[in-house]
Amino acid sequence: MASSSNPGATGTDAPSISITVERNPPQSRLVELGIKSWPKWGCPPGRFPLKFDAEETCYLVKGKVTAYIKGSSESVEFGAGDLVIFPKGLSCTWDVSAPVDKYYKFASSS
């Protein structure tokens, strides 16, 4: 008979995934990444549930967001001038307090 108890379990088997924010990166970094060639996306203020099926890197031209990570008490704030990386598999809710305009790029799944 199999036992379902695991004394070493911490209640979650998933590794901790988090949002990385690089505040006001230098222009040289943005040029190196080629962000001006990336697609653009925008949204009005509101709450938006998002799931990242691939890693996304984005650069916010304008806006302000608080992202609440699903299954965590953690929240991350970012806004205009920030370079943000969302890891593959992340689910979160964006609480957009100022309209967002961003460049974005998904990592290739090779």
Domain presence at residue 76: yes
Domain presence at residue 101: yes
Residue located via tokens 């001006």: 36
Residue with the bigger pLDDT between 79 and 6: it is 79
Give the model confidence (pLDDT) of 26-43 as tens digits.
Answer: 999 999 999 999 999 999
Give the model confidence (pLDDT) of 45-86 as tens digits.
Answer: 999 999 999 999 999 999 999 999 999 998 999 999 999 999
pLDDT given for residue 12 in this prediction: 44
pTM for the model stands at 0.82
Residue 74 belongs to a domain with what CATH number? Answer: 2.60.120.10
Domain presence at residue 1: no
> Could you tell me if 35 and 59 are in contact, meaning their C-beta atoms sit under 8 angstroms apart?
yes
pLDDT given for residue 108 in this prediction: 80
Confidence of residue 4 (pLDDT cuts 50, 70, 90): very low
- Structure-block tokens of residue 18: 């988090």
**pLDDT at 7 > cutoff 80:** no
Domain presence at residue 4: no
Domain presence at residue 54: yes
pLDDT given for residue 43 in this prediction: 96
Instruction: For the beta carbon of residue 58, count every other beta carbon within 10 angstroms.
Output: 22
Domain presence at residue 9: no
Q: Specify the number of domains making up the chain.
A: 1
Phi-psi region for residue 92, left (φ > 0), alpha (ψ -120 to 50) or beta?
Answer: beta
Domain presence at residue 72: yes
pLDDT given for residue 11 in this prediction: 43
Range of the domain at 94: 20-106
CB-hemisphere CA count at 13 Å for 56? 19
Domain presence at residue 7: no
pLDDT given for residue 74 in this prediction: 86
R_g of the chain, CA atoms, integer Å: 17
- What phi and psi, each to the nearest 5 degrees, are found at residue 35? -60, -30
> Could you tell me if 34 and 43 are in contact, meaning their C-beta atoms sit under 8 angstroms apart?
no
Instruction: For the beta carbon of residue 80, count every other beta carbon within 10 angstroms.
Output: 15
